[in-house]
């Protein structure tokens, strides 16, 4: 099996931005997911939209979208992408009590949008923490992962444990 070469490492081992100038623009998408484990008390308050700071789910959705749009500002070797859409879904999961966040990013460009989808769910999860920390400082942000991606030379990929 041929060993894959890391594209962000130059000939001398230095970090570099990949040159995508010669690649074709194609439709690309990525879906990422994160979970925030919470207490029963917080679950109830989120379910009733009863947090003192306001609607945590709306704030998380907006924060996730904004984060996807700013990914290249925070991840040093990411390209700035012309995103065609970003959606963030936030919902409660009863057992164990958790907030599940799913983001999908899309573009028509030369490189993929995995980092944008991952950034969206990460910042949305942090926003849930910020909105609800007065109720539950013990929240755990876990399972930030790419679920699926498509487009470009790599084609389609889907996590084996994806629902």
By the 8 A CB rule, do 33 and 92 touch? no
Which entry of 93, 130, 136, 163 is annotated as an active-site residue? Answer: 130
106 sits in which H/E element: strand 98-109
Can you say whether the dihedral through the CA atoms of 109, 150, 15, 72 is positive or negative? positive
Catalytic residue at 130?
A: yes
From residue 162, give the alpha-carbon distance in Å to each of 5, 64, 89, 95, 102.
27, 21, 16, 18, 12
- The closest of 77, 160, 163, 78 to 117, measured between CA atoms, is 78
163 burial (CB, 10 Å; 0-12 / 13-18 / 19+) is: exposed
Angle ∠(127,131,132) on CA atoms, nearest 5: 115
Tokens of 114: 């995995």
Which residues are catalytic, by number? 130
């Amino acid at each position: 099996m041929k060993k894959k070469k890391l594209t962000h490492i130059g000939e001398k081992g230095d970090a570099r931005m990949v040159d995508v100038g010669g690649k074709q623009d194609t439709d690309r998408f990525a879906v990422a997911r994160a979970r925030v484990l919470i207490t029963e008390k917080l679950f109830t308050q989120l379910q009733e939209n009863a947090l003192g700071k306001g609607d945590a789910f709306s704030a998380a959705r907006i924060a996730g979208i904004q984060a996807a749009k700013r990914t290249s500002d925070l991840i040093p070797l990411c390209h700035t992408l012309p995103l065609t859409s970003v959606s963030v879904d936030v919902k409660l999961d009863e057992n164990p009590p958790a907030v599940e966040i799913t983001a999908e990013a899309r573009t028509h460009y030369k490189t993929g949008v995995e980092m944008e989808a991952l950034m969206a769910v990460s910042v949305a999860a942090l926003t849930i923490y910020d909105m609800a920390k007065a109720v539950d400082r013990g929240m755990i942000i876990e399972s930030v992962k790419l679920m699926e991606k498509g487009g470009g030379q790599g084609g389609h990929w889907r996590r084996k444990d994806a629902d």
